[in-house]
Structure 1
Amino acid sequence: MPRFSKQRLDPVEPPYDAETAAALEALGPPIALFGVLARRPERARAVHGWGSYYLSRRSAMTLRQRELVIDRTTARCGAGYEFGVHVAVFAGKVGLDSAQVASLASGGPDDPCWEDPADRAVLRAVDALYDGDDLSDELWAELVRAVGEEGAIDLLLVCGWYHAVSYVARVLRLPDEPGTKGFATTIR
């Protein structure tokens, strides 16, 4: 995966005014991405309101399926920063082993580590969306069998949302967060 030049924009730094502090608290842990978004607290609140609550806490997909979507999307978009954050926080929680993490970064849904047909269907859908911005009728049917109709809609939203997040993280050249390894987590 590519290595980038230095970070392009600095996140807000303490001391924070009350509006910025509230926006940062709503977004979550004090990582660089959230600090950059909070340079304009109204933007941070909008991002939190659109993507955060429903897509992370109320989705019709399982937590594992959601993380497969996020990890594969950020990997395909070359956003090592966001990939590393999610792998560090969620890989263990959702039962991803090192072969699966490596496959998410640089393999494919037909790699031997993906035994569950639902995992493969989710990954195939993410790859098809990345490659062609659409799903064939056959792939749509496979996805609905794996995650249900509501889960399929949520997959589209999560995939699109993390495509946007990947643009931000990649273009801003955000360095890996402490305790994360970006794409270095995939060394076999």
Structure 2
Amino acid sequence: MPRIPPLEPPYPADIQAQFDRIMRGAPPLMLFRVMAGHQRAWGKFGGGSLLDRGPLSLRDREIAIDRTCALNGCEYEWGVHVSTFAAAAELTAEQIRATVLEDSQAACWSEAERALLLAVDALHRRATLGVAEFATLRVHYNEDQILEIILLCGFYRTVSYLANALDLPLEETAARFPARTSCGA
């Protein structure tokens, strides 16, 4: 059980309508159930307005989200996203593994994806992009996309804080972090 109890069904009609819109018929995630029990927090969370697709491709969006969650040690949100979106984003098993275990320059990524991952890593480590990192990102992404990348990293860092600090149990159907293997294993 998380540190703050989640809402239990039946949910208030307005909350149920929001869950239906976000989850498209699937049961609401534990994170949503915890947040929705607190009107101000739920409003601020939903006010992030990053639950829509935005100007990035689904693939780029998921790479940024998965990497951000992995860097923050947030298996909860990483697993939800991998289970829900990895196939549609055409992420290979090697790429999914790399979001957790490899650096931004892993051979499984395209040049544009390496620039994206380099930016995600820099934002995580230093909360900024250096001149060269920004220039490399700009080669592959327009201004709206760059802003979306920065916003996604910040939003999913916050989501990671929430899931980790609330000690949310992993969703039953969510993926799990890949195991680190040693040479020859």
In the other structure, the counterpart of 1:47 is 45
| 1:28-177 superposed matches below 5 A | 28=23, 29=26, 30-53=28-51, 56-57=52-53, 59-114=54-109, 116-177=110-171
> Structure 1 CA distance, aligned partners of 2:142 and 2:12?
44
Superposed displacement of residue 24, structure 1: 3.0
> Structure 2 CA distance, aligned partners of 1:25 and 1:50?
18
In the other structure, the counterpart of 1:15 is 10
> Structure 2 CA distance, aligned partners of 1:126 and 1:32?
26
> Structure 2 CA distance, aligned partners of 1:95 and 1:26?
24
Superposed displacement of residue 22, structure 1: 3.5
In the alignment, structure 1 segments of 5+ residues that lack a partner are 1-5
> Structure 1 CA distance, aligned partners of 2:55 and 2:175?
29
Superposed displacement of residue 174, structure 1: 1.0
Superposed displacement of residue 49, structure 1: 3.1
Could you list the per-position Cα deviations for residues 50-74 of structure 1 after superposition, in whole angstroms to 9, with x for gaps in the alignment?
2345xx22x2221111111100000
In the other structure, the counterpart of 2:177 is 183
More helix as a share of residues: 1
Superposed displacement of residue 130, structure 1: 0.6
> Structure 2 CA distance, aligned partners of 1:187 and 1:136?
30
Q: Secondary structure at the match of 1:51?
A: coil
- Confirm or deny: 8 A CA contact 2:50 2:152 kept in the other structure: no
- Confirm or deny: 8 A CA contact 1:144 1:151 kept in the other structure: no
TM-score normalised according to structure 2 size: 0.88
- Confirm or deny: 8 A CA contact 2:60 2:113 kept in the other structure: yes
State which drifts further: 164-173 or 141-150: 141-150
TM-score normalised according to structure 1 size: 0.86
State which drifts further: 156-165 or 146-155: 146-155
> Structure 1 CA distance, aligned partners of 2:4 and 2:75?
17
Specify whether residues 26 and 42 from structure 1 end up closer, same or farther in structure 2 by C-alpha distance, changes over 3 A only: farther
- Confirm or deny: 8 A CA contact 2:66 2:99 kept in the other structure: yes
